[in-house]
Chains A and B, each alone.
Chain A
Amino acid sequence: MNEQSLWSIFVNAALVNNFVLAYFLGICPFLGVSAKIGTATRMGGAVMFVMLVSSVCAYGIHHLLIAIGAPFLELIAFIAVIASAVQLVEMFIKKMSPALFRALGIFLPLITTNCAILGLALFQTNKGYGFGQAIVYAFGAGAGFTLALILMAGIREKLEFADTPQVVRGTAIALIVAGILSLSFMGFAGLGA
């Protein structure tokens, strides 16, 4: 059992080991959906919600599979549950708020292949977090993902007006910006330890 305090888990997941900028998880939506601050915020919210749901599920699956002695099924079970959780969230949002459903569009089903979600499930299992710790970890990771996405979107909105050379336009400049962001996040190292 891991003895880390809840506060330290949260700071660690959100800032020190930010999922996008330190672990490179969820780079696809990070580069794809970070053109506007509005979409970035909504995407971050959806991801955080799916993270919380799949974190709870992963905790249950891990203990169930250990109990029946089939840990090799873990990966397959995780991905199947995440896919169904995303499907469930999609149907729920469609029923409750059609406006939000239209706003999220294609991003919602794409969360299934967001490596940050599966990464979260695997990391929390590897670290041996308890139930409360797992939820705080998921919340921190989601918050960190949203923060990175919003920061990136803010910079890219400004960047549209900058006079960048022809060669660096597109992915290259986005990667350079991400690199600088990642370096600045290194400044959080040691916080909350």
Chain B
Amino acid sequence: MKPVETTSPTDEFVKGLWRENPVFVQVLGMCPVLAVSNTAINALAMGLATTFVMCMSNTLVAVLRHAIPRQVRIATYILIIATFVTVVDYTIEAISLDLHRALGAFISLIVVNCLILGRAEAFASRHGAGIAMLDGLGMGAGFTLALVCLGGVRELLGSGSLFGVAVLPAGFEPWIVMILPGGGFFTLAAWLLLINYLKQRRQADAEPVREALQ
């Protein structure tokens, strides 16, 4: 028996939020992260859509994991994911046409988000349905968190507002560059820098303790 069952369900959920955050730690699924994070609302919608798709496809892959032949598993996963993405695409179009227009082809492009395929292959195909669903929820939540972090910064600096509400004083000169594609790259780089810095500082803190133990 492999020691996979030692982690608790809450741990499966929480790991996606921070320790194995898909965007900041694993650097997966970059295309939608950069493309739709120009406002916080778009980022949140994209995050929720991806979470739904990941949650459902993880569950279905886990349920079918003994029925899918190994040779065609990737193609099967992609078809499962594409089905749920079509559902999301039509749902968003029915709820809010403006949002659908703002996100454009990037809703359909959730299909090729390597994060979803990665979770199906690395986690859902080896675990039960319940735990796979939790993993999908957790990873989705981490993905949404990262997207909103990015979208919030870009919207705040690029247009002086947050979730469409103006928060900075009228005298604030918006940094147009933050809404342009280049701003996406810069903001993500800045977040990665911050996280790298915190990680290295924690390692430096832990170093003397380890030496004292030896």
Contact = CB atoms under 8 A, between A and B. Distances in A.
Interface stretch (B26-34, B133-141, B157-165): B26-34
Interface stretch (A23-31, A51-59, A97-105, A128-136): A23-31
A123 B31 CA distance: 15
A112 B177 CA distance: 32
B189 interface: yes
Contact of B75 (A72, A83, A168, A183): A83
Q: Is the interface of A mostly helix, strand, loop or mixed?
A: helix
Interface in B176-206: 177, 180-186, 188-189, 192-193, 196-197, 200
B105 interface: yes
Nearest to A183: B182
A23 B212 CA distance: 51
Interface residues of A, number: 38
A176 B30 CA distance: 14
Given A80-B79, A167-B196, A172-B196, A21 B27 contact: no
B203 to A, nearest CB: 11
A122 interface: yes
A40 interface: no
Contacts, number: 107
Contacts of A173: 189
B108 A75 contact: yes
B86 A75 contact: yes
A172 B192 contact: yes
Given A26-B31, A183-B182, A76 B189 contact: no
Interface of B: 27, 30-31, 34-35, 74-75, 78-79, 82-83, 85-86, 89-90, 104-105, 108-109, 111-114, 117, 177, 180-186, 188-189, 192-193, 196-197, 200
Interface of A: 21-28, 31, 72, 75-76, 79-80, 83, 112-115, 118-119, 122-123, 126, 166-168, 171-173, 175-176, 178-180, 182-183, 186
7 contacts: A24-B34, A31-B27, A75-B89, A166-B200, A167-B193, A167-B196, A179-B183
